[in-house]
Amino acid sequence: MGWQKLLRVAQGKEKAELVLKGGKVLNVFTNEFLEGDVAICQGKIAGIGQYDGIREIDCRGRYIAPGYLDAHIHIESTLAMPGELSKALLRAGTTTLVADPHELVNVKGKKALDFLLEATKCIPLNVYLMIPSSVPATGFDTNGAGEFLAEDMKEYLERDRVLGLGEVMCFPDVLEGEKRILDKLSLFQKKHIDGHGPGLTSGKLQAYRLCGVENDHECVSIKEVKEKLRAGFQIFIREGSGAKNLEPIVLGMLKEGLPFSRCAFCTDDKHLEDIERDGHIDACIRKAISLGLDPIEAYKTASWYPALAYGLKDLGAVAAGYQADLVILEDLQTAKAEQTIYKGIPAREWEQQPFSFLGWEELLHTVEFGEITKEKIALAKGEKNHVIGMVKRELLTEHLFEEIPGKDGVFIPDGNYNKLCVVERYGKNGNVGVAPLKGFGIRGGAVATSVSHDSHNIIVAGDNDEDIVIAVNYLKEIQGGYVIASGGKIAEALPLEVCGLLSRETKEEITAKAERIFKLARKMGVQEGIDPFTTLSFMALPVIPKLRLLDTGLFDAEKFESLQGACSAQKIVRK
């Protein structure tokens, strides 16, 4: 870095490379907008005041804020490769991600982690990684990579852009003092440790915090927020494609008069199509302001507060010495970026650069299972059966025990009680889990995907066995993706060949296919408030209450145990 040049620019003795002229600059330290020029040189902010530049952008009547930061995201959930994703996020004003790659790592282990570190190195985003803590999330289902232990993590401990340990989803193991997770927590005590503790309270919450867990993004109520804030947690306010928790949290905090200084916005899991249509972190700012949050506080929750949370000392503010990641806004209320600046270069100039990375070839061919037949997905009908009840706008489920439709002792799905199946997709054991699903609502077909958190086996829901079988078997043919079958044939598909999670296509191609398949799912009855693919994908995650379906069968996520006998017909068929 040329300090001499920067010093001269800061003092007005030399022209800056770029000057944003005459804008209203957000000062996160004093909570005010101050008119002035922003001088940029060598990717840094040299000073705020009166400056001349070799290049100048007229910002009179505009606001200048720090670039937005997503405090917790799974890049895989966008479906796009990092380079393509960066184009969409820059347009939305996002310049920094803290990403947990446990989806990819569950499928392909170290190869996937190394790929993502390399693929995010030279794109126009600051991408920091958290090393996945829970691969697999539990020992009750089957993933592709096997276990990712503390010993495997040591080589990444001091790697550039690695901030710490990813969300500690296996909180029951933490509470029981299980050695493998304690080894990981001990390894990262001097770094940051992300949390994932839905519903944890009282002594269990205290024990979880005791182990160094710093934050949580699973809060769904103000009661939960208050207890976790009191326990010392930072609260990441999530607004994704499936889980939309921002409104109750923001309204609750405003009503209770709670400070937002220990909060940050995050998306966790959000589709590229939703980002292109609705926005990213800018959507969080916009919604929070509409609910009554002071605009300055909303912008700080999107930038300064998450930067503080992760110790990113050169990000999150518009001030001398900070990286020149900036958003130029016409209207504070909408938070819509008129222009985004990353490292002192306008986003439109970054978009002209191609992003091509080697290494994804090793992440192909991850979908291997024997042909699925109607016999393999049969389920016995009792007087009453355990039923997974979906909850709108939440990832939580209800554990129902109800009479289900059927004939001759066999469950026959319909539009009210869909059949949910999870198929082990790595060719390890041939497991197939089956259960009734209420609240999804698909009629006249089946929705299937190779994205099912966190082990990413095949998950499918439908109102008839024929379309369920067709959809699942087609996923093997295309090596993963999103599929809808209807009337005995494939109606729409979005291939995701890289680990069965990511597309190699452009963001425009991904968005177009996603839009078609989502519209069809809605037309076929998938209810509003339920994302046809994101919400469905979480029905196989055993660390969120109350009831889940794994490749090994139904799982009680409150008691943290398998439900014996819940898939009895399937077991009979296997004999």
Same domain (yes/no): 46, 81: no
For 26-46, give the DSSP string.
EETTTTEEEEEEEEEETTEEE
pLDDT of residue 575 exceeding 50, the answer is no
- Contact assessment for residue 265 and residue 70, using Cβ atoms and an 8 Å cutoff: yes
% the chain with pLDDT above 90: 91
Choose the final residue of a domain: 326, 357, 388.
357
DSSP 145: S
pLDDT of residue 537 exceeding 90, the answer is yes
To the nearest whole number, what is the mean pLDDT of the chain? 94
Same domain (yes/no): 282, 334: yes
- Contact assessment for residue 322 and residue 335, using Cβ atoms and an 8 Å cutoff: no
- Which of 519, 71, 119, 468 minimizes the C-alpha distance to 300? 71
pLDDT value of position 353 = 72
Same domain (yes/no): 391, 540: yes
In terms of phi and psi (left: phi > 0; alpha: psi -120 to 50; beta: otherwise), the region of 409 is left
Same domain (yes/no): 167, 275: yes
What pTM was estimated for this model as a whole?
Answer: 0.92
DSSP 356: -
In this prediction, residues 496-520 reach a mean pLDDT of 95
What confidence category does residue 355 fall into, taking pLDDT thresholds of 50, 70 and 90? low
364 domain-assigned:
no
Instruction: Pinpoint the alpha helices (H) of 257-383.
Output: 272-278, 281-290, 295-301, 304-309, 347-350
Number of Cβ within 10 Å of residue 437's Cβ equals 24
327 domain-assigned:
yes
Number of Cβ within 10 Å of residue 320's Cβ equals 15
Choose the final residue of a domain: 357, 388, 408.
357
What confidence category does residue 1 fall into, taking pLDDT thresholds of 50, 70 and 90? low
In terms of phi and psi (left: phi > 0; alpha: psi -120 to 50; beta: otherwise), the region of 268 is left
Count up the domains in the chain and report the number: 3
229-288: pLDDT as tens digits = 999 999 999 999 988 999 999 999 999 999 999 999 999 999 999 999 999 999 999 999
Q: Which two tokens stand for residue 514?
A: 């996603």
pLDDT value of position 527 = 86
Same domain (yes/no): 202, 149: yes
Same domain (yes/no): 391, 336: no
295-319: pLDDT as tens digits = 999 999 999 999 999 999 999 999 9
- Contact assessment for residue 23 and residue 63, using Cβ atoms and an 8 Å cutoff: yes
In this prediction, residues 97-110 reach a mean pLDDT of 96
446 domain-assigned:
yes
Same domain (yes/no): 332, 416: no
pLDDT value of position 455 = 94
For residues 525, 527, 528 and 530, what is the CA-based torsion angle, rounded to 10 degrees?
-130
- Which of 498, 453, 562, 496 minimizes the C-alpha distance to 135? 453
Angstrom distance (rounded) from CA 169 to CA 181 = 10
CATH, residue 103? 3.20.20.140
pLDDT value of position 356 = 64
What confidence category does residue 360 fall into, taking pLDDT thresholds of 50, 70 and 90? confident
Q: Which domain holds residue 86?
A: 65-357
Same domain (yes/no): 309, 381: no
Q: Which two tokens stand for residue 334?
A: 């909408």
pLDDT value of position 266 = 98
3-class DSSP assignment, residue 117: helix
Same domain (yes/no): 94, 22: no
What confidence category does residue 570 fall into, taking pLDDT thresholds of 50, 70 and 90? very low
Angstrom distance (rounded) from CA 330 to CA 339 = 9
395 domain-assigned:
yes
445-466: pLDDT as tens digits = 999 999 998 899 999 999 999 9
- Which of 526, 541, 530 minimizes the C-alpha distance to 457? 541
Angstrom distance (rounded) from CA 352 to CA 342 = 14
Choose the final residue of a domain: 11, 42, 61.
61
CATH, residue 25? 2.30.40.10
Q: Which two tokens stand for residue 239?
A: 């607004």
- Contact assessment for residue 96 and residue 68, using Cβ atoms and an 8 Å cutoff: yes
Euclidean distance between the first and the last CA atom of the chain, given in angstroms as a whole number? 69
In this prediction, residues 167-178 reach a mean pLDDT of 93
4-39: pLDDT as tens digits = 999 999 999 999 999 999 999 999 999 999 999 999
48 domain-assigned:
yes
Instruction: Pinpoint the alpha helices (H) of 399-486.
Output: 465-478
112 domain-assigned:
yes
Phi, psi of 289 (to 5 degrees): -65, -40
Query: Angle at CA 395, nearest 5°, toward 244 and 70?
Result: 45
Same domain (yes/no): 381, 242: no
Same domain (yes/no): 413, 554: yes
Same domain (yes/no): 332, 346: yes
368 domain-assigned:
no
449 domain-assigned:
yes
